[in-house]
Amino acid sequence: MMRLLWLSALACNGNAHALLNYPGFKVWQKEFEWLYHPLLPSEYSFKEVEKGMAEGCDVLLVDGTLEEGYVKYRRPYMELLEHYGKQAHHIVTVGTCATFGGIFAQGGKGRSGLHFRGDERLDIFKNFWQKSISLPGCPVQPEVLAGTLSLLKRKTDIPLDPLRRPKYYYAYTVHDGCIRNEYFEYKIDEHRFGRLEGCMFYDHGCQGTYTHGSCNKILWNGLGSKTRNGQPCMGCTEPDFPKENLWQTPKHMGIPARMPLGVPRRAYLSLAGIAKAFRIERFYTPLMKEE
């Protein structure tokens, strides 16, 4: 059994609830033992955790935004993190707040993720860097969290990117696997929220073309993703999340201000000119007629 300890800082509990919705949760959790989790039966109460009584932590799961001076019940949170971080074999930041600071970092000074404030690397817990893994997301996809812990249990080598994100899950963009790619290629937005037709990159703020994540390759709970359900990708796995005006595409001279990942503006403009020279009627009608 691998022993897990979940420490929440400034958090909304979204990551904890997302894990509870993992379709394979009952089977998956048989391989793990919770020393402490705020919502699940655990070996120790939080009062015991606070006193440093929980022992044998294999993986420390850090949830929520860190804040200087933040006291968790009666003990400074940073002390708890230092205490259990030293005994853990691995440290996993669960969600964007614990990784980069996220939404809660917008509301006060001295707030950050474990190793980053946005994309700025911090030194405060640099002794934990080599055993840390970042799992950003708002919330983190339960398949990504459960899968990463299973890989750690099997002692599988996990390749990471410079932000400590597993390449298994973050080497793609959300655009990969999006069912709206035909509309993207022909530069057709004409989207209405909740509808299956239309790309959301051009007018509705979709950030899927430059956001690292596997939301459209590993569907949420095996069912869907934001873009499949008609909502733009909000870029929640990136250090600069959240941006302003999430459902609007910033533009310069009518052209999206930010290009798809790795695409030069000149190449984009050339292909856009060719695509717009043709009108494909199928893309301007519903995918299926209603009875």
Q: Give the β-pairing of 2-8 and 32-36.
A: parallel
Of 15, 168, 41, nearest in space to 97 by CA: 15
Over residues 123-157, the pLDDT tens digits come to 999 999 999 999 999 999 999 999 999 999 999 99
Measured from the Cβ of residue 216, the count of other Cβ atoms closer than 10 Å reads: 24
pTM attached to this predicted model: 0.93
Q: What is the DSSP letter of 241?
A: P
Confidence (pLDDT) at 133: 98
Question: Residue 36 phi/psi, 5° resolution?
Answer: -160, 135
Rounded to an integer, the average pLDDT of 267-290 is 84
Q: Give the β-pairing of 90-94 and 59-63.
A: parallel
Rounded to an integer, the average pLDDT of 45-65 is 95
Over residues 246-260, the pLDDT tens digits come to 889 999 988 999 999
If pLDDT is split at 50, 70 and 90, which confidence band does 36 have? very high
More confident call, 282 vs 122: 122
Confidence (pLDDT) at 196: 82
Confidence (pLDDT) at 190: 74
Question: Residue 261 phi/psi, 5° resolution?
Answer: -55, 120
Confidence (pLDDT) at 253: 87
Confidence (pLDDT) at 202: 93
- Tokens representing 110 are 């001295």
User: How many Å apart are CA 238 and CA 118, to the nearest integer?
Assistant: 8
Is residue 58 over pLDDT 90? yes
Of 158, 209, 11, 211, nearest in space to 97 by CA: 11
User: How many Å apart are CA 223 and CA 218, to the nearest integer?
Assistant: 9
Confidence (pLDDT) at 289: 76
- Tokens representing 263 are 């695409």
Rounded to an integer, the average pLDDT of 5-20 is 96
If pLDDT is split at 50, 70 and 90, which confidence band does 285 have? confident
Under a CB-based contact definition with an 8 Å cutoff, are residues 212 and 260 in contact?
no
DSSP string for residues in 13-39: SHHHHHHHT-TTHHHHGGGEEEEE-SS
Under a CB-based contact definition with an 8 Å cutoff, are residues 129 and 146 in contact?
no
Confidence (pLDDT) at 221: 84
Confidence (pLDDT) at 286: 82
Q: Which residue is listed with tokens 């459209």?
A: 216
Over residues 154-191, the pLDDT tens digits come to 999 999 999 999 999 999 999 999 999 999 998 888 77
Over residues 64-114, the pLDDT tens digits come to 999 999 998 889 999 999 999 999 999 999 999 999 999 999 988 899 999
Quick check: bond before 139 cis, omega within 30?
yes
Sign, CA dihedral 132-136-140-143, equals: negative
* 3-class DSSP string for 110-175: CEECCCEECCEECCCCHHHHHHEEEECCCCCCHHHHHHHHHHHHCCCCCCECCCCCEHHHHCCECC
Q: Give the β-pairing of 66-67 and 111-112.
A: antiparallel
Is residue 207 over pLDDT 90? yes
Task: Please state, rounded to an integer, the average pLDDT across all residues of the chain.
Answer: 93
User: How many Å apart are CA 104 and CA 98, to the nearest integer?
Assistant: 10
User: How many Å apart are CA 276 and CA 121, to the nearest integer?
Assistant: 42
More confident call, 61 vs 188: 61
Confidence (pLDDT) at 116: 98
